[in-house]
Amino acid sequence: MAKKKNEEVMMPAAPAKEQPITETLEKNYMPYAMSVIVSRAIPEIDGLKPSHRKLLYTMYTMGLLGGKLTKSANVVGQTMKLNPHGDQAIYATMVRLTDGNETLLLPLVESKGNFGKQYSRDMAYAASRYTEVKLAPVCNEFFSDINKNTVKFVDNYDGQLKEPTLLPVAFPNILVNPNLGIAVGMASNICSFNLAEVCEATIAYMKDPKADIIELMPAPDFPHSGCIIYDREQMREIYETGRGSFKLRAKYSYDKKNNCIEISQIPYSTTVEVIIEKLMELIKANKIKEISDVRDETDKKGFKLTIDLKRRIDPEALMLKLFKLTPLEDSFSCNFNVLINSVPKVMGVKGILGEWVSFRMDCIKRGLQFDIERKHKRPHLLTGLKKILLDIDKAVSIIRHTELEEDVVPNLMVGFDIDKEQAEYIADIKLRSLNREYILNRTADIEKLISEIDEANRILSSDREVKKIIAKQLREISKKYAKPRATELISEEEAGVYEESATVEDYPVTVFITRDGYLKKVTSQSLRSTTSEHKLKEDDEIVQEIETTNKSELLFFSDKSTVYKTKLYDLPDGKVAAMGEYMPAIFQLPDGEKLIYAAITADFSGFMLFCFENGKIARVPLSAYETKTNRKKLIGAYSDKSPVVSMYCLKEEAEFAAFTDNNKALVFSSEKIPEKTTKSTQGVQVMKLTKKGAKVVRVIPAKKCELGDLGHFRTKNIPAAGSFLRKDDLQLSLF
């Protein structure tokens, strides 16, 4: 029996039942995804995520609206009754809402203590036991009439408390404060707008849904100010679709006395640490040579990033360069994704305003209905009270002579011809209040209450009247809390365009290029003063010597029909006695690829000649290699249909001599070759190859070939077969 029992214990478990992946996703992953979308990451029409709403409502119930500051830890602890995601998550949410953190354009929480800064990644906020908070005055507009059934309430996670599904915000907070959320498969990124502008735009929209609201709120506004490079049509597209991006730029000033740039505001989408790291990276890479030091000098007075300059540097030209190369100019990508009745929707500004107006109208109507229901009973009760005014003594007598308490109400109903509710109300009045003055004062409110009920019913039945109330509230809110626009708008013309060469010193240089790919850039002054010979690798030799300037651009053509580009000023000045820069390593050439020719140009004027073995020559304008995006590598730089034997960069027309492997030569002028705009063109036939298997082996400038009689080999028209080399010229042939 024991053995059998052990055998039963050791029996293998039944194989797990297979489940289709689609079913697994539907049962396990989809509920999680929907929970993140609906209950965490995407804001609703009141401009709040659930975590924000739970925190603010908890602070409201704690009496922190207009009260004294309390420890943040106290608020965090109380909020956990509604939000069970842990104290650190709750406190991090609170930090973002405070005026100390400077994340929101209109902070919702007043704070005392260190709450870090939005523009700093490393400036940590203090622990919750050290900081203090209370609700900002603007939160009066979040909780007005919340006790009048203006919004729905639901049970909290354990069913012990009630919490609102939305807050009855009296202004479009969804547009006034920025909101970023990343859900599963979707995200939301809503920029902030100026409160006064939003209120005016909302009023205009309620009057005319077709109103051009971009006239009233031209662009977003951010707490860190800075500048927006303003493109009206680009902004209009964002307003209409809810998607798009715009550029933010830092604000700076130049301190001439200390020769430094002081940056006082940076784009909302970046941090000071990211900017400094990028600056240091560029300085180490030798891409920024104008800066001697970078310091974060942020203090109690506010943000300041100081950049010390070297002597004789133009600060404006440098800033244009920094705007291009660093996050001092950054893009803000808009994605106006909002939950509407638990359904995520990407909407333009008008769509959001339309949904908010509908939501706010519903809040006001619910509040009016609550007032009507509450006030409706009051006139009826007071009418019963008015009846006893005719004979107060009778009422006292009925109560006094009734033996049983339960008979008081029925006896009053019979004695004064009133209903049960009226009798209950009279019976509950204190004995001291059963006097003529009290009753007259109470019954005088009957007509006023009836008038208020009629007015409420009139407003309730008219959407136009409800919108008037919303407009009135918006004007009052704008007057109380609005601040002048902080973010400056500048046009693309005012912003300026970075020209890389503007910050580079220009001076004459001579470039030496060797057969093995080494390059030396030597200044004229260094060249004149040196007595040294060129230092070269063993068996290497100089194949090109070009006089140019430091601002020129270098084009290196390889044997794989590729051209590599770089600015000469990106290469360090060298000396004759140095080996120079190894260009294949700088360009990171693949194995087996070699650099065969270098062209240097300052303005991409002139043209390239590509001479091929098959006797064809291609003439391509140098401007074909100019790119707006400053690309470093261009493939298809010339045709690969036939091997290239020579290439030349020319500013003006010149004569060339072509030689074949069967001792023929042809002298021709480059002006005879038509220009092609396509880089990979095969060119035109210049030298006819009459012998089968013959090929062109060399093309050199005619003035360097030293042929005895150039006229003998010169042709007026192309293509031409050329002439055989004469006895005196055979030494020029390769064969």
Residues annotated catalytic, as ranges: 130
* Rounded Cα gap, residues 328 and 265, in angstroms: 9
The token pair at 58 is: 């908890």
Answer positive or negative: Cα dihedral of 10, 13, 14, 15: negative
Judge contact between 272 and 303, C-beta under 8 A: yes
Phi then psi for 237, rounded to 5 degrees?
-65, -40
Q: For 545-613, give the DSSP string.
A: EEEEETT-EEEEEETTSEEEEEEGGGSPP--TTS--EEHHHHHTPPTT--EEEEEEESS--SEEEEEET
Classify the C-alpha dihedral 643-646-649-653 as positive or negative. Answer: negative
Residues near 265 by Cβ (< 8 Å), separated by ≥ 6?
Answer: 224, 225, 226, 250, 251, 303
Q: Determine the distance from the C-alpha atom of residue 671 to the mean position of all C-alpha atoms in its chain, rounded to a whole number.
A: 52
> Please, are residues 699 and 611 in contact by the beta-carbon 8 Å criterion?
yes
H helix count then E strand count, the chain: 24, 33
For strands 518-523 and 508-514, give the pairing: antiparallel
**Is 497 within 8 Å of 540 (Cβ atoms)?**
no
Cβ-proximal residues to 32 (8 Å cutoff; 6+ apart), any chain: 184
Among 570, 601, 559, 566, which residue's Cα sits nearest to residue 587? Answer: 566
Q: In whole angstroms, how far apart are CA 159 and each of 81, 151, 155, 162, 205?
A: 10, 18, 5, 8, 41
Residue pair 443/389 in contact by the 8 Å Cβ criterion: yes
Q: Which residues contact 377 (CB under 8 A, 6 or more apart)?
A: 421
CB-based contact 292:318 (threshold 8 Å): no
Peptide bond into 572 cis (omega under 30): no
| Cα 453 to the center of its chain, rounded Å | 50
What DSSP line would sit under 695-713, residue for residue? Answer: -EEEEEEHHHH--S-HHHH
The SS3 call for residue 446 is helix
Kindly write down the DSSP assignment for every residue of 333-376, as one continuous string.
Answer: EEE-EEEETTEEEE--HHHHHHHHHHHHHHHHHHHHHHHHHHHH
Q: How far is residue 377's CA from residue 338's CA, in Å, rounded to a whole number? A: 40
Per-residue tokens: 2: 């024991």
The 3-class SS string of 181-222 reads EECCCCEEEECCCCHHHHHHHHHHHHHCCCCCHHHCCCCCCC
Q: How many residues does the chain have?
A: 735
Distances (CA, A) of 162 to 61, 156, 224, 605: 11, 6, 37, 76
From CA 66, how far away is CA 675, in angstroms rounded?
80
Tokens of 562: 């590729």
| CA-based max dimension of the chain | 155
Q: State the distance between the two ends of the chain, measured CA to CA, in whole angstroms.
A: 103
